[in-house]
Amino acid sequence: MYSDNSQRKLTKPVTLSTLKQMKLDKDKITMLTSYDASFTNVMNVAGVECILVGDSLGMVIQGQDSTLPVTIEDMCYHTAAVKRGNTNAFIISDMSFMSFSKPEQALDNAAKLMQAGASMVKLEGGSWLADTIKLLSQRGIPVCAHLGLTPQSVHKFGGYRVQGKSQEAADLLMEESLELVAAGADILLYECIPTELGKKLSEAVPVPTIGIGAGPHTDGQVLVLHDMLGINLGHIPKFVKNFLTDGRNITQAFEAYVDEVKTLTFPGNEHGFK
């Protein structure tokens, strides 16, 4: 998949089949958020396999205090920009807040994101999404289900808190994960859960798992672009590492991230939760 030069430039398109094989091969998947063509192009050069057009753009691009104000039109705009800068990475786009509250509504909005350039859509939520995921899957739209800490539900959670800490909560995450995979979810993304739970979930489900604050045992990792470049001036989550250090330029920062995820250097114990 990579060229032989000093950079890990992607030489052929990354597909869902590629990601599933990477899980089987225990080759860690790398993902970063991007919101425009320029950063996307550099990520391709650096060998980042997956690009997430995240609704985190509400905070890091728009200056909002949460992801909730982001609209499906915003997501389509940024997805199209990312697509124009992309060569071979797999693009996943977030479904914005309340854009998938009903299955038919989700289908209409997911179609907009796919037409804008997404390879897959990502939805936040648990078992209640099963019917929606089944409908999207039947219509040929790949789905990433986002579990654990789901930022669109931050007010319900009472803040950004680690999820799945009790045995009951861990069992529920396992149950919901298996249910959503049975409904057709192709990837599961876990945010802010205990490291050991991330390991158990990744071993239990047959699809690739991506973690952010979920420990080193998930099949892949994702970070928000601005966090991993050290230009987030707000609260720095425990699971974040600044890769734009030691005289690196941005391309080298992306390459360092890819290398550290691949060699199991990142995330370390200090980036996880118990």
122 is an annotated ligand-binding site residue: yes
Half-sphere exposure of 225 (CA within 13 A, CB side): 23
Active site residue 191: yes
Question: Could you tell me where the DSSP H helices lie in 148-246?
Answer: 154-157, 167-183, 195-204, 225-228
Non-local CB neighbours of 219 within 8 Å, separated by 6+ positions: 22, 23, 28, 29, 202, 208, 209, 210
- Rounded to whole angstroms, the Cα distance separating 22 from 160 reads 31
241 is an annotated ligand-binding site residue: no
CA trace torsion 73, 74, 75, 76 (10° rounding): 50
The amino acid at 114: M
- In this structure, the number of other CB atoms found within 10 A of the CB of residue 178 comes to 16
175 is an annotated ligand-binding site residue: no
177 is an annotated ligand-binding site residue: no
- In this structure, the number of other CB atoms found within 10 A of the CB of residue 42 comes to 18
Among 191, 203, 255, 260, the active-site one is 191
Angle at 94 between CA 93 and CA 96, to 5 degrees: 140
* Six token digits for residue 235: 């609260």
196 is an annotated ligand-binding site residue: no
Binding-site members for 3-methyl-2-oxobutanoate are 55-56, 94, 122
Name the residues annotated as catalytic: 191
Q: Which residues are annotated as a binding site for Mg(2+)?
A: 55, 94, 124
Residues making up the binding site: 55-56, 94, 122, 124
